[in-house]
């Protein structure tokens, strides 16, 4: 096993050299700025997200062609490329949609990428990734699998449980934290669970051990040379944010606060997602009910003294113009009394519970 440090968004020539040297059979592409809130934080973070994510993906595809390496690319995408709330109760297919087009010669059927509806600059870059994959698969016969992943929860896989030093990140802050991690952390310290808006947003979820298993299954089942990119919806279940908060609150005996939403999104939405491909390949999902209590007790509570409460309120907003009432200031005002509660924390901890 070898390690090569390469900024694939900026060091194209070095990337080509690495590919020629190692000639990989498969490449798992995680090299992108991964947070929607961070991508909306400022003009600087918006530009960085586009520059890094688009350059990284395109450089990788172009380098594979130049180096003549026939590697299978497995890319971690997002369910957010589909958008939320505009498809109603229609099931979201795995990447492609069959459409009918009326022409003078009669009806023509085509299979196209599902229409994109990005909700942030981060999600926009993932929709552009799809177009690059489609082009390079068609033009240069690259073999590509795009995983449209839901919100990841949990910290442990069968490998990491072997030693405490291997435990994964537990992000809970406003930029990189995910909603369930935030709820679990808040419950562990007696902080009210923070639901933005009315909590009617429905989102797709997947446990981290299922994420790892899905990547393994994707690598083991590559598309043939010349095929269009394979797209998997990498999710196992969907939940409304409000229902999720109530579930955690019941388990942890926590309270819930409903706060102004810093995002521009529908107050509530339906989300029906097809995930038959991974299920047919043998994925056995870990559900929230099965694993939730374990996460609360073994992770969030165990490392409660490392939590920095000042990182809980969001520091990014989707609104480009100042609204009648500032949602961020309002959130901070509503959280002020709670933030003044004494809590132990270790020096240097900012956005994660690091082990």
Q: Considering only 185-194, 221-230, 343-352, which range has the smallest mean pLDDT?
A: 343-352
The partner residues of 233 in beta bridges, in order of sequence, read: 148
Whether 333 shows a pLDDT value over 90: the answer reads no
pLDDT digit string (tens) for 99-138?
Answer: 999 999 999 999 999 999 999 999 999 999 999 999 999 9
Q: Does the reported pTM lie above 0.75?
A: yes
What residues are labeled active site? Answer: 78, 122, 126
Instruction: Spell out the domains of the chain, with CATH numbers in brackets.
Output: 12-339 (3.40.50.720)
Separation CA 210–CA 213 (nearest Å): 5
pLDDT at 192: 95
pLDDT digit string (tens) for 193-238?
Answer: 999 999 999 999 999 999 999 999 999 999 999 999 999 999 999 9
Whether 322 shows a pLDDT value over 60: the answer reads no
Please count the CA atoms within 13 angstroms of the CA of 3 that sit on its side-chain side. 1
- In 3D space, the residue among 218, 224, 239, 231 whose CA is nearest the CA of residue 283 turns out to be 218
Q: pLDDT-based confidence at 155, cuts 50/70/90? A: confident
Residue 237: is it exposed, middle or buried by C-beta count within 10 angstroms (0-12/13-18/19+)? middle
- C-alpha angle 352/206/331, rounded to 5°? 45
Distance between start and end Cα atoms, the chain: 25
- In 3D space, the residue among 158, 150, 169, 207 whose CA is nearest the CA of residue 299 turns out to be 169
């Amino acid at each position: 096993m070898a390690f090569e440090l390469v900024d694939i968004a900026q060091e194209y020539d070095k990337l080509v050299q690495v590919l020629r040297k190692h000639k990989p059979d498969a490449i798992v592409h995680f090299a992108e700025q991964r947070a929607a809130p961070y991508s909306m934080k400022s003009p600087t973070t918006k530009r960085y997200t586009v520059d890094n994510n688009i350059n990284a993906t395109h450089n990788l595809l172009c380098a594979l062609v130049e180096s003549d390496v026939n590697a299978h690319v497995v890319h971690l995408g997002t369910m957010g490329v589909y958008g939320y709330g505009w498809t109603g109760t229609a099931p979201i297919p795995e990447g492609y949609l069959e459409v009918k087009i009326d022409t003078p010669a009669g009806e023509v059927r085509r299979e196209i990428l599902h229409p994109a509806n990005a909700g942030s600059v981060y999600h926009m870059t993932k929709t552009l990734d799809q177009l690059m994959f489609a082009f390079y698969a068609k033009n240069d016969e690259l073999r590509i699998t795009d995983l449209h992943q839901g919100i990841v929860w949990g910290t442990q896989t069968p490998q990491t449980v072997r030693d405490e030093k291997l435990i994964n990140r537990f992000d809970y802050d406003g930029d990189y934290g995910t909603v369930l991690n935030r709820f679990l952390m808040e419950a562990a310290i007696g902080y009210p669970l923070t639901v933005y808006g009315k909590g009617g947003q429905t989102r797709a979820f997947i446990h981290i051990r299922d994420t790892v298993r899905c990547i393994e299954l994707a690598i083991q089942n590559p598309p043939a040379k010349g095929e269009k990119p394979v797209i998997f919806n990498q999710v196992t279940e969907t939940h409304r944010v409000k229902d999720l908060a109530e579930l955690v609150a019941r388990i942890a005996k926590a309270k819930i606060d409903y706060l102004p939403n810093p995002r521009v999104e529908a107050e509530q939405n339906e989300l029906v997602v097809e995930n038959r491909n991974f299920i047919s390949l043998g994925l056995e999902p870990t559900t929230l009910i099965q694993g939730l209590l374990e996460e609360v007790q073994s992770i969030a509570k165990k490392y409660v003294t490392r939590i920095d409460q000042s990182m809980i309120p969001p520091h990014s907003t989707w609104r480009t113009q100042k609204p009648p009432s500032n949602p961020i200031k309002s959130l901070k005002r509503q959280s002020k009394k709670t933030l003044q509660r004494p809590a132990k924390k270790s020096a240097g901890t900012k956005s994660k519970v690091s082990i």
